Amino acid sequence: MSVAPISSSPADLELIARPKSQLQYAELRIRVLEERLRLMRIEKYGAGGEKLSQAQMQLFELEPVISEMTEQAESEHAPAHRSTKKSVKHPGRQELPANLPRVERILPCALDQRVCKRCGRETVVIGYEESSQLDVEPAKYFVLVTKREKRACRSCEELGVVSAPLPPRIIEKCLASDRIIIDTVVSKYCNHTPLHRQSVILERDLGLEISRATLDGWVLKVGELLIPMVAAMRRELISGSYIQADETPVDVQTREGRGKNRQAYLWQYSRPGGTAVFDFRLGRGREGPKWFLGQFEGILQTDGYAAYDQIGGPKMVHAACWSHARRQFFEAVQLNPRDPVATPIVARMDELFAVDADARCKVLTTAGRHFRRQETAKPLLDDIRSKIDAAQSVALPSSALSKACQYALGLWKKLIRFMEYPELELSTNLAENSMRPVALGRKNWLHIGSPQSGPKVAAILSVVESCRRLKLPVRDYLAAVLPGLADLPIRCLPNLTPAAWLARHSDTKSTVVLAWRDLQPRRF
């Protein structure tokens, strides 16, 4: 007896398919959530270096097009226990700076060494065996007593008495000298020592009680004096052709009764190897860079933050950062160290950075680097684009790899702008490096005291960072510029900016060479 087949209606098939689709969706969601959890653990407990391990590099055994340049770049970050690592020759004893003063100390021979052991006659000095060590003399505080000469004519008493004029000071009638005020500023914004800690040090070492409020008044006065100077630095920066921009959060005390600080932002604008200017803003909106850049029509290089869009002049060129694009894919590699999709993309991007690194090693000019890019980087870009397109088609929605692909493809036109403009760097690492002192200081001094103090703090940071980039001693610069700065006309300030000051006072004209470590992909 045959049994008739059971027919399934469309409604029955839909009921059967629904649990399957729900199960697939649940599995995909679990994979995405597990990925996010792994990423959080990596950020908290993982290694700080963005490097491909040897296990990841073994994935390229089937990739014959990988260049020796990439292998060399990655091997520099490989574990120390690798047997294939070449031994590095010791550079030898480090030479102490020639500009440091030399203090000689002569050690005489002992008494029994001054007499010849054979004839008993006294020996003579025929020379010295020299050795040099870096030494330090602890800071010595003293009271500077200034006596102004007074003169008068004994024959013409009606003319009265004249006194020697006082030199200009940073803060008139201040208890501390200019050097103490500058030392306070440098200690906070270069050495990241909070004012409270400086007050404690003075009381501990000298028995001198100077309140934190007094030190804060000195610092804010310096910031107030530097605000017009930084305005001149901004005009100097805008008149150029290339700016890198970035921003970082900073807490501000607002005393609004909310019981917590408000998050403000320090926006940083700079030219690689040149002037850096910080702009304090209470928000992260577009109005900040829109005001700062005005009608700037050069190259603006930033990350993918949307606030940098639709600003500047009509001819402004907006470029993106390859380090940020690489970082997105490296996060996918961290989640899956043997990822056969994301790992090749990271390696190809490393090859792209290696092209510029090789140009720096060979001290090529901008034109020479541009020719090298046209010759070598073009096929790399084509390969990177094809790999990203292929990765996007297989990546899970909302996964780290999918987000990395969307980020890179959304900025692709801005990422490849360096092929058109020779002066453009691959990344904004120099701009991000300028934020590191802010991040270090923020861990110590915690917040800015008020919104009104923000522009003054930004002015000090602008001068300090510009001096660091230009290798200009910040103490010497502040000591030369600050006294009497309030009485100078505005038209004189362009000649006193750090870049202008360096150009006028340098003995020899030299170009600022960007350090290798400043231009490599950021390590987190």
pLDDT tens for each residue of 384-421: 999 999 999 888 887 888 899 999 999 999 999 999 99
Residue 369 maps to a domain: yes
Residue 348 maps to a domain: yes
Is the pLDDT at 295 greater than 80, yes or no?
yes
- % of the chain surpassing 90 pLDDT: 50
When pLDDT is averaged across residues 14-34 and rounded to a whole number, the result is: 65
Q: Domain total for the chain?
A: 1
Instruction: Work out the mean pLDDT of the chain and round it to a whole number.
Output: 83
When pLDDT is averaged across residues 204-229 and rounded to a whole number, the result is: 93
Residue 381: how many CA atoms within 13 Å on its side-chain side? 18
CA distance linking residue 295 with residue 195, whole number of Å: 39
Write the DSSP symbol of residue 4. P
Residue 510 maps to a domain: no
Residue 408 maps to a domain: yes
pLDDT, greater one: 13 or 447:
447
CA separation, residue 177 to residues 146, 220, 440 (Å): 11, 16, 28
Length in residues, the chain? 524
pLDDT, greater one: 257 or 63:
257
Opening angle at CA 382, ends 381 and 387, nearest 5: 95
For strands 161-163 and 150-152, give the pairing. antiparallel
Is the pLDDT at 513 greater than 50, yes or no?
no
Q: Using 50, 70 and 90 to split pLDDT, how confident is the model at 345?
A: very high
Residue 203 maps to a domain: no
Residue 507 maps to a domain: no
CA distance linking residue 184 with residue 452, whole number of Å: 20
State the residue range of the domain holding 349. 322-426
- % of the chain surpassing 70 pLDDT: 79
Residue 341 maps to a domain: yes
The model carries a pTM of: 0.78
> So what's the pLDDT on residue 73?
46
When pLDDT is averaged across residues 506-517 and rounded to a whole number, the result is: 44
When pLDDT is averaged across residues 16-29 and rounded to a whole number, the result is: 65
Residue 336 maps to a domain: yes
Is the pLDDT at 483 greater than 80, yes or no?
yes
Opening angle at CA 200, ends 174 and 198, nearest 5: 60
Is the pLDDT at 81 greater than 60, yes or no?
no
